[in-house]
Amino acid sequence: MEVRLKLKLIVIFYFRYFNLPKASGAADICSLEKYRALGFIKIREIDKCLLFSSNVLSWHGASGHCATLGTRLYTAFHAGELLQEHLIPYKFRHEDHWIGLNDIKQEGDFMWHLLPAPSTHGHIRRSEQATGAAEFMPWRQGQPDDHHGGQDCVMKGRDGLWRDETCTELLHYICEAVPCEPLVIASRLDISGGSLHLTLKVAAIALFDWTAL
């Protein structure tokens, strides 16, 4: 009983101290004051909490800015997360936007930031675009084409279709807030003198970034 109570208190303290959202529908974290103040918008249809930028940045600049907010560039791991044009607020609807997909590490091997986009092999290669899990991605016809080389970052066009683009291009961008979960990463159980002592180290891991730890 004492051990369970201590564990519960540690987790509650952790969430309250760091003001982290408990895991729930991703769109629900838009109700947090920090995201409301920044202008994030709940898109219930795709269970997303998104910020549409009013400024333009390079892909790396946009990715970095989203990270400073504790968020990431927009991602879609299945068709149910695709951002349709009619879901975008009208004043942002007619802009091109950076999203998180890129093949910076290896040409033709597209990934969402550090996490691979879904397909049979964990990545999306050009040869797989017409089959398997990659099929849901709304590429513009003939895309991605790495035109003249160096087009390693993906943008969502104002027509709703995706294409690769030079990462230094200045575009609007979409940040996505995601829930965090408590994660016990280390524990120690000591029994001495008839007493039981449980030591825990608790950390939060953002669901989109396993490198946080």
**Residue 123 is part of a domain; what is its CATH number?**
3.10.100.10
Q: What is the pLDDT of residue 107?
A: 85
**Domain extent for 101:** 24-177
Q: Judge if 13 and 28 occupy the same domain.
A: no
Per-residue pLDDT tens digits for 156-194:
999 999 999 999 999 999 999 987 644 444 445 555 566
What is the phi/psi pair of residue 115, to 5°? -95, 135
Q: Judge if 44 and 13 occupy the same domain.
A: no
Q: Judge if 145 and 213 occupy the same domain.
A: no
Q: What is the pLDDT of residue 41?
A: 94
Q: Judge if 17 and 28 occupy the same domain.
A: no
Tell me what percent of the residues of the chain surpass a pLDDT of 70. 62
Q: What is the pLDDT of residue 148?
A: 80
Q: What is the pLDDT of residue 25?
A: 66
Per-residue pLDDT tens digits for 92-150:
999 999 999 998 988 888 888 744 444 333 344 443 333 333 578 999 988 888 888 88
Q: Judge if 57 and 122 occupy the same domain.
A: yes
Q: Judge if 45 and 19 occupy the same domain.
A: no
Task: Identify the DSSP state of 16.
Answer: H
Q: What is the pLDDT of residue 194?
A: 60
- Chain-centroid distance, C-alpha 37: 19
**Alpha helix (H) residue ranges in 69-212:** none
Tell me what percent of the residues of the chain surpass a pLDDT of 90. 42
Q: Judge if 89 and 154 occupy the same domain.
A: yes
Mention every residue, 6+ apart, whose C-beta is less than 8 A from residue 85.
93, 159, 160
Per-residue pLDDT tens digits for 64-103:
999 999 999 999 988 899 998 899 999 999 999 999 999 8
